[in-house]
Structure 1
Amino acid sequence: MIALIQRVLSASVTIEGEICGEIGPGLLVLLGVEQGDDEQKAKKLCDKMIGYRIFGDENDKMNLNVKQVSGSLLVVSQFTLVADTKKGNRPGFSQGATPQEAERLYDYFCGECREKGIMTQTGRFAADMKVALVNNGPVTFWLQV
């Protein structure tokens, strides 16, 4: 399971001209689900992401996590994160989970984040989404479990 996280001042996801998820300060989370991923990996990734200290403290050092700054999450499914790009000019997706399994684990991941007390907005699984963000930093990290 892979999460590309971006520290944002704001982010939103629009589907067919309608905003379906929107946050202020927090994290935009692009989530990719691989074959073999399960609830344990989803929970571990959620815990790691929520505890990841990438927000500035009073000395502007990255010592605070999203919960400590009362930040929100916008979680967007992105199967292209699991692409094999090692050879050729076209990515391969054979390592990705089936759409049904990916959607199930995406929903589970979002539920875990909510259970930990983080306001969590989402896109819509497998929809054609337009994602807008104001990256703060920019600060972007790749987390994988």
Structure 2
Amino acid sequence: MERLHKGACHCGAIAVELRTPRAPAEQVIGACQCSFCRKHNARTFSDPKSSATLTAREPEQLQLYAFGLSTSEVVICRRCGVYVAMLMTDQGEAWTTLNIDVLDERAAFTRPAEPRDFSAEAVEGRIARRKARWIPTKLVGWPAGR
């Protein structure tokens, strides 16, 4: 049975819909150990059997930030500062790992976050892992060229 979870940044400018086959308490939650995620105390979710939609309700509030190997961009709301997701795009396709705490039902995702360290990955391996493990994602209202 597919489950739909909705959410958004604090001010609502960037909305999220997650469709996933498993119950929230069964989901594996990650805690990336990169400096960005650690500073945000992020709990992230990715599952290639799920699907997500990121909607820029107010595209002018969409802030994308790349660091490290620049193989993906962090999706941040410019107005309220919430870290929404990590986004990778390639040839018109998109994948994300979501900050589970942007979901309205975030408290239902009860498994402890598992630390993950990808600092030893090279560019090619990182891209391949993300395409295999991240959530296939539809972008709605995204500015042209993004």
**TM-score above 0.5, yes or no:** no
Higher RCO structure, 1 or 2 (CA under 8 Å, sep 6+): 1
Name the TM-score class by shorter chain: under 0.3
Q: Please give the TM-score of this superposition, normalised by the length of structure 1.
A: 0.25
Which of these two proteins has the greater Rg computed from alpha carbons? Answer: 1
